[in-house]
Amino acid sequence: MFLRPGADRGSDPPIYTRSRNDVEKVEWGGGTSERLLTAQDEMGFAVAHTIVRAGSSSKLQYRHHQEACYCIAGNGSVVEPDGTVHEITPGVIYVLPDHEPHDLRGGTEDMHLISVFNPAITGDEKHTLSEDGYSSY
């Protein structure tokens, strides 16, 4: 059983906090991800602070998760397999409700995203990026 910070067995507090400094930074290939809320938290979804490196290109597909990402800093784009480009800047959310393959590209500066996954990721997943296919987990 996962214990929330400061909890003892049998009495999880109703509210808790977690800082980016409290979680491991996971290298996923095109940047890093700090998984703030994962399956262990038993909320039914996961939340991560994702950084997409400037100039990077990562072909991704989440076959078992829906994903929505809200940009809080930087810039980049999401490119569909047919070449349709969606520019991402602060204040823009992109949503992948049907496990769509996509190319996530960093722009002229690192792009910071708040990523939400449903169902929750476990937190230790990593992509295997290649030029000839989409990495998935």
Q: Is the pLDDT confidence value at 122 over 70?
A: yes
Q: How many structural domains is the chain composed of?
A: 1
CA distances from 87 to 5, 74, 92, 117 (A): 38, 11, 9, 21
> What was the pLDDT predicted at 82?
95
Residue 53 DSSP class: P
CA distance 7 to 24: 20
Each residue of 27-42: pLDDT tens digit? Answer: 888 999 999 999 999 9
CA distance 15 to 4: 9
CATH number of the domain within which 81 lies: 2.60.120.10
Residue 3 DSSP class: P
CA distance 17 to 84: 39
The reply to whether 65 falls in a domain is yes
* Amino acid at position 69, single letter: C
The reply to whether 94 falls in a domain is yes
Q: For residue 48, what are the domain limits?
A: 24-124+132-136
What is the pLDDT of the chain when averaged over all its residues? 85
The reply to whether 63 falls in a domain is yes
CA distance 17 to 36: 10
pTM (predicted TM-score): 0.81
The reply to whether 15 falls in a domain is no
The reply to whether 19 falls in a domain is no
CB contact at 8 A, 99 and 63: yes
